[in-house]
Structure 1
Amino acid sequence: MKVRKESSRVVKPTYEGTPPPNTTYVPLSVFDKVTYNTHMAVIYAYCPPTPPNVALELGLQKALSVFREWAGRLGKNDKGDHVIFLNDEGVRFVEASVDSTLDQAMPFKPSASLLSLHPSLKGVAELVQVQLTRFTCGSMVVGFTAHHLVADGHSTSNFLVAWGQACRGLAISPIPLHDRAIFLPRDPPIFEFEHEGVEFMSETLKKEYPIVDDINDILVHKVHFTLEFLGKLKAKASSMNGGNKPYSTFESLVAHLWRAITKARSLNSFETTQVRISVNGRIRLNPGVPNEYFGNLVLWAFPSAKVKDLLREPLPYAAKIIDDAITKVNNNYFKSFIDFAKYKVETENLIPTADMNKSALCPNLEVDSWLRFPFYDLDFGGGCPCIFMPSYFPTEGMMFLVPSFIGDGSIDAFIPLFQDNLASFKQICYSLD
């Protein structure tokens, strides 16, 4: 699949009436500062009929007038604080084409070829980038990149839905909540939980992960889990929890994948393995934060186990560890984090543990779940996407879970593994033993 870039320009917000001042800024919150300092990319495919590029551009301009942060730039104010300048400098808008039909290019395999369907993630000033790639059959692929310091997956998906609403001539709803100053530390602060070595670490103690000499040694494997398989997995994972509420499909699947990948890696039985799992604070904090809050509001659960215990014990053992770890990241934990981030991070020169520059996470895993985001609601006027998937992120052990485009509740998992471990994983990934 050869993608031909035809044009590239900056698109700026359009306002009804007098534009707001472009000299203001929004300070990053403690949750923005602790997340990944990188662009993330997603890919949508649409079957014809699709609206013309000019309609998507006009809709984007309208959406940017409501979500001004995306049209701004990251930087520091005169006090040295990290901020988003609301300067309306705009986002990157690229038009491209392919001399084939979408069917001829399908299926989109998780490989480096996906990188041609969106702008580069490296060295980018714009906080959002869009690439519209047209196929000869009238199909369209939308490659979208967004800087994670500005917003988490929940907020980004809300923006994408708003872009679709604007393209269809609808009022943007819900209107985002932009106030990032709502996370106030307590006085006096209460450091109820340990955060150094969890969300933050000393730069001098930065953990070294395996260096991968050849990125081709890592293959991203896509696994499809049917609704029937997920039901059996959930029943088995919940079979020993004493009649309590069953574990979620997500917890059951992550427990299964944790065990399968650990086995495929052939790790030392006395080694410790952990999983990094995102936890949305909007429903955890008390009082709750509205779903319309725009920004980052995520911390992480870190279930861990000895390899020998994880593989010797049945699936419910892993599911319970995961459920316990997620449950721990509650209102008290979030507030303890706010206090710690405000009073300790700068004075002790700590840096976030979230790092996208690693090439391998072994013996650990990270799970990025997009199962609850309304990505499939992105309708530009020609209907919902026929495909939605992450771009190519060949970081060994960093998994993405997305709802299958089949739309029946099944799940697709994108799992990067060392090539030497892949054959073993394929043999056991559907085993319920």
Structure 2
Amino acid sequence: MAEDHHGSIKVLEICTISPPPGSAVPASLPLTFFDILWFRFPPVERLFFYKSPAAFHAILLNLKNSLSRVLQHYLPLAGAIVWPETSPKPAVVTTAGDGVVLTVAESDADFDHLVSDGLREEAKLRPLVAELAVEEERAAVMAVQVTSFGKGGFSIGITAHHAILDGRSSTSFVKSWAGLCKNLVAGGEPVSPAAETMPFYDRSVVADPAGLEAIYLKSWLAMGGPNNRSLKCFDVTIPPDLFRGTFKLNLQNIQKLKQFVLRHRTPTHPPLHVSTFTVTMAYTWVCTSVADGSPPDGERAFGMSVDARGRLDPPLPVTYFGNCVVVRGIALERAKLVGQKGVVAAVEVISDMIKSLEEEGPLNGAENWVSLIAEGAKNNWKPISTAGSPKFEVYSVDFGWGTPEKVEVVSIDATGAVCISESRDGGGVEIGWTAKRDVMENFAAVFAKGLQEL
């Protein structure tokens, strides 16, 4: 067991969890333009931390059995992305013997520290998520790691390829797995997920009148090409000295932020979309802009991903499996963000972005999205962006041993995103972010002070 100042990790087992024979969902699933957009984006990594009311071997047995059973309904997660020379586009293919690679490990890290809200070294979380096997010609869709912290608790780390799952699909899978596992823990018979939650796989419902699929495929093939069919993801450098913090806005904080914006809004500005999301992200954007100590000139960028299932014409089922998010971005002068009415300025431009989804359509400008993402990755741009949503209700995910002590999106250390979820304490929201220690300490101070002054 290798020792270092981050604690130690010992791998106990690596196995493949396969779905039962005869699974009925498609063994081959083509990618749509929504999926192809994220084709080479870094995987999404989430961690769920739980207390251990049972012996670890019993926990592990139930997790393995339920994972196998739920995969029969989520068969693409057991497969891999391939892009043969004979195929015009990539697809997920699942063959006999495929499955999700499960790593079982134990750690002597301090569980209570990892699930706290205070500053934690990001390097202590990284060993808890499984590495996704991504090669030039084959990319696994999902990998899982279950780590025991002895009597302290355990974590479930889920690493998923971004080209297959968006946040809604990923969360639906986790909840289906947890529900099935909880039933096994309680001694019940194995049951399928409820019919209304079953994933919807029909790709014919995704209309592409603008030919976005062809545009995106041409862009990826030319990148490092010609005819570059590599499945390798962008190589994103993660600084070794990052710290992670958790910050909360309770219902009273959110209400005060809304009232502040409405009192000080620009009179000539169109009606605002003043919601929990807009004031949370506006306030976070302002605090990061103050905390990083950058010169007052220049701009600070903000981007957001929005679930488009209900915004398309015709709309897609809420259980549609795959990616169905659209992106919007904006830049604002840093001087405006750090000014006395910075939150107001931020809410106004975020509100405008949300309104553009309705006025211009969710796919307006979509032909440029791949080139913008690729340029950002090449230049290591990390604007403040969003990951997660309070609507996912991740703190309700109960595998049979209670709700999570903490849920983290580890991959925000690679993207610079801010993770937002509902608060575990009930009411309000929880914000996760990573930065170097001095910036994170500044952010914590600015975040607390700003709330006191509302």
Is the structural similarity TM-score above 0.5? Answer: yes
Distance 1:39 1:250 in 2: 24
SS in 1 for 2:338: helix
Distance 1:105 1:259 in 2: 27
SS in 1 for 2:46: strand
Offset at residue 321 of structure 1 (A): 0.7
Distance 1:394 1:387 in 2: 17
Gap change, CA 1:110 and 1:254, over 3 Å in 2: farther
Q: Which residue of 1 aligns with 2:373?
A: 353
Which residue of 31, 34, 37 corresponds with 1:28? 31
Identity %: 21
Q: TM-score, normalised by structure 1?
A: 0.82
Q: Which residue of 1 aligns with 2:227?
A: none
Gap change, CA 1:392 and 1:27, over 3 Å in 2: closer
Q: Read off the aligned partner of 2:312 and give its amino acid letter.
A: L
Gap change, CA 1:227 and 1:52, over 3 Å in 2: same
Distance 1:354 1:238 in 2: 38
Q: Which deviates more, 248-257 or 379-388? A: 379-388
Contact 2:423 2:430 in 1 (8 A): yes
2:99 maps to 1:90: yes
2:260 maps to 1:257: no
Which residue of 237, 248, 251 corresponds with 2:261? 237
Q: Which deviates more, 170-179 or 373-382? A: 373-382
Distance 2:193 2:409 in 1: 25
Contact 1:396 1:416 in 2 (8 A): no
Q: Which residue of 2 aligns with 1:80?
A: 88
Q: Which residue of 1 aligns with 2:186?
A: none
2:379 maps to 1:379: no
Offset at residue 354 of structure 1 (A): 6.0
Q: Read off the aligned partner of 2:76 and give its amino acid letter.
A: E
After superposition, where does 1:15-414 map in structure 2 within 5 Å?
A: 15=21, 18-19=22-23, 24-35=27-38, 37-50=41-54, 51-77=58-84, 78-87=86-95, 89-98=98-107, 102-103=111-112, 107=116, 109=120, 111-121=122-132, 123=134, 125-137=139-151, 139-167=153-181, 168=183, 169-173=190-194, 174-186=197-209, 189=210, 215-216=239-240, 218-240=242-264, 247-312=274-339, 314=341, 315-330=343-358, 332-336=360-364, 340=367, 351=371, 353=373, 361=381, 364-391=383-410, 393-395=412-414, 397-406=416-425, 408-414=426-432
> Residue deviations 1:174-233, cap 9 Å, x none?
1110122322233xx499xxx99xx99x969xxxxxx99992454333323333222212
Q: Which residue of 2 aligns with 1:208?
A: none
Distance 1:104 1:335 in 2: 43
SS in 1 for 2:193: coil
Offset at residue 413 of structure 1 (A): 1.9
SS in 2 for 1:145: strand
Gap change, CA 1:358 and 1:419, over 3 Å in 2: farther
SS in 2 for 1:239: helix
Contact 1:38 1:149 in 2 (8 A): no
Q: Read off the aligned partner of 1:13 and give its amino acid letter.
A: P
SS in 1 for 2:101: strand
Q: Which residue of 1 aligns with 2:433?
A: 415
Offset at residue 28 of structure 1 (A): 0.7
Q: Read off the aligned partner of 1:424 and give its amino acid letter.
A: N
Q: Read off the aligned partner of 1:157 and give its amino acid letter.
A: T
Q: Read off the aligned partner of 2:428 and give its amino acid letter.
A: S
Offset at residue 74 of structure 1 (A): 0.4
Distance 2:68 2:339 in 1: 55
RMSD (Å), alpha carbons: 3.5
Q: Which residue of 2 aligns with 1:428?
A: 446
Q: Which deviates more, 57-66 or 372-381? A: 372-381
Gap change, CA 1:392 and 1:286, over 3 Å in 2: closer
Which residue of 3, 11, 21 corresponds with 1:5? 11
Distance 2:356 2:428 in 1: 28
Gap change, CA 1:280 and 1:354, over 3 Å in 2: farther
Q: Read off the aligned partner of 2:44 and give its amino acid letter.
A: M
- Please state which structure has a larger fraction of its residues in helix: 2
SS in 1 for 2:413: coil
Offset at residue 358 of structure 1 (A): 6.9
Offset at residue 246 of structure 1 (A): 5.9
Distance 2:309 2:25 in 1: 30
Distance 2:160 2:79 in 1: 12
Gap change, CA 1:358 and 1:55, over 3 Å in 2: farther
Where structure 2 has 5 or more consecutive residues not aligned to the other structure, the ranges are 1-6, 184-189, 225-234
Distance 1:376 1:214 in 2: 27
Q: TM-score, normalised by structure 2?
A: 0.78
Gap change, CA 1:239 and 1:369, over 3 Å in 2: farther
Distance 2:129 2:146 in 1: 8
Q: Which deviates more, 58-67 or 237-246? A: 237-246
Offset at residue 298 of structure 1 (A): 0.6
Gap change, CA 1:396 and 1:253, over 3 Å in 2: same
SS in 1 for 2:243: strand
Offset at residue 66 of structure 1 (A): 0.5
Offset at residue 44 of structure 1 (A): 1.1
Contact 1:165 1:171 in 2 (8 A): no
SS in 2 for 1:290: coil
Distance 1:123 1:214 in 2: 18
Task: Give the number of aligned pairs.
Answer: 407
